[in-house]
Structure 1
């Protein structure tokens, strides 16, 4: 079965930023998700751009990855 594509360019770019930060910290998806207070499958979908997030979840992810939420969202492509 083919992989599910990202929802759009915005979620794809956001997910790439989250994955890059997680890798900078040397964390597995499971460890990062635990720090963020979300399930690891949800984090995987975020990283693949397959999930659109509520503001509260973006803040939780930023806090868990020790990064300013603005850095994760600033300059993202505008959704169509």
Structure 2
């Protein structure tokens, strides 16, 4: 089954968030997002801007490229 890039990206964000020990709500707060938006990101429902991707990487303390590994 083929998953869209947005869904694969969202799964990667979820994986990295959990590895960093953040709940979805705590991570959303760290990014300055509401939890519902973070949920949309992680389920592939949000079409992220470059700025949003950069915000996620900064909140995880990883380079942007790490968010795209193994997609």
Deviates more, 1:8-17 or 1:50-59: 8-17
* Stretches of 4+ aligned residues off by more than 3 angstroms: none
Please identify the structure whose Cα radius of gyration is greater. 1
Q: For this pair of structures, how many residues does the alignment match?
A: 69
RMSD, aligned α-carbons = 1.4
> Which consecutive residues of structure 1, in runs of 5 or more, have no partner in the other structure?
1-7
Q: In proportion to residue count, which structure has more helix? A: 2
- CA displacement 1:13-72 (0-9 Å, x = unmatched): 100110001100111111001111211111110000111100001100111111211111
The reply to whether residue 39 of structure 1 matches residue 34 of structure 2 is: yes
Structure 2 gaps, min length 5: none
